[in-house]
Structures are given as structure tokens and as C-alpha cells.
Amino acid sequence: GKHTDALPLFERAITIERNTLGTDHPILAQGLRGYADLLRTLGRGADAARADVEASQVEQRFKARQAAG
């Protein structure tokens, strides 16, 4: 279905975001959250949880970088 078709597109977008924006950019975190939502829709809860954890780590790195100035 359409959700399954979207999976490789999300994965490609996340790879591009990681490579171009870095691992502490809020857009990457947003992409990972959307990816997690899609994985949950597909019944892949464990994979979704991993994506959510990675998104949280990205957000923490971003906040630390902002605090450091």
C-alpha cells in the first residue's frame, strides 16, 4: 500500500538530512518522528521506538549546541 511505498522515501530523506544537515539538526529530528509514526502505522513498534529514541538524541544534541552558543 501507500504506507509501504512511503517507507523507502522516508529512509532516503533521513539519510539526506543526516548527510547535509548533520546529526544535531531539528529537521532531522522531525523527519525521524515522521518515520517513527509511519513505522507504527505499519505495525513495526520496535523500529518506531528506535527512531523516536534517535529523534530525542538529535534534539538533545541540538539543545546542547544551542546552550553552548
Rounded Cα–Cα distance for residues 68 and 11 (Å): 30
Q: What is the pLDDT of residues 15-67, one digit of tens each?
A: 999 999 999 999 999 999 999 999 999 999 999 999 999 999 999 999 999 99
Q: What's the predicted TM-score (pTM) here? A: 0.92
Q: What is the pLDDT of residues 6-15, one digit of tens each?
A: 999 999 999 9
> Is residue 64 classed exposed, middle or buried when 0-12, 13-18 and 19+ CB atoms within 10 A define those classes?
exposed
| Grid coordinates of 69 | 552558543
